[in-house]
């Protein structure tokens, strides 16, 4: 990650190369990260996937899960009920 000052950001904001995130410092301390919108979206999607994986792990730990065979049986049962309901 590149590091630049807030003054640099102010002077070059319109022409920044955001191929990688840019760490902005103020008084020698990191204060913000500037990144492209595309990178931001990718980061948000990755965070969402990690949250879903974590939820899945918690479900498995607490016993809230099905084997593949159990899932297929439940789906087949629902399909049969739907077919018999005349819809």
pTM above 0.85, yes or no: no
15-25 burial, b at 16+ Cβ within 10 Å, e below that, comes to eeeeeeebebb
* C-alpha 34, offset from chain centre: 18
pLDDT at residue 83 in the model: 74
Query: Tens digit of pLDDT for each residue in 16-68?
Result: 999 999 999 999 999 999 999 999 999 999 999 999 999 999 999 999 988 89
Coil, helix or strand at residue 73 = helix
What does the domain layout of the chain look like in residue ranges? 2-84
Q: What distance lies between CA 15 and its chain's CA centroid?
A: 28
Residue 82 reports pLDDT greater than 80? no
For residues 30 and 76, what is the distance between their CA atoms, to the nearest angstrom?
Answer: 56
Chain-centroid distance of CA 39 in Å reads 11
């Amino acid at each position: 990650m590149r590091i630049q000052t807030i003054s640099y950001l102010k002077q070059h904001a319109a022409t920044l190369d955001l191929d990688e995130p840019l760490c902005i410092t103020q008084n020698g301390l990191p204060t913000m990260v500037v990144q492209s919108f595309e990178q931001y979206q990718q980061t948000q999607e990755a965070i969402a996937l990690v949250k879903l994986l974590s939820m899945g792990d918690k479900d498995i730990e607490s016993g809230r899960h099905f084997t593949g065979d159990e899932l297929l049986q439940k789906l087949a049962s629902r399909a049969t009920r739907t077919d018999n309901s005349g819809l």
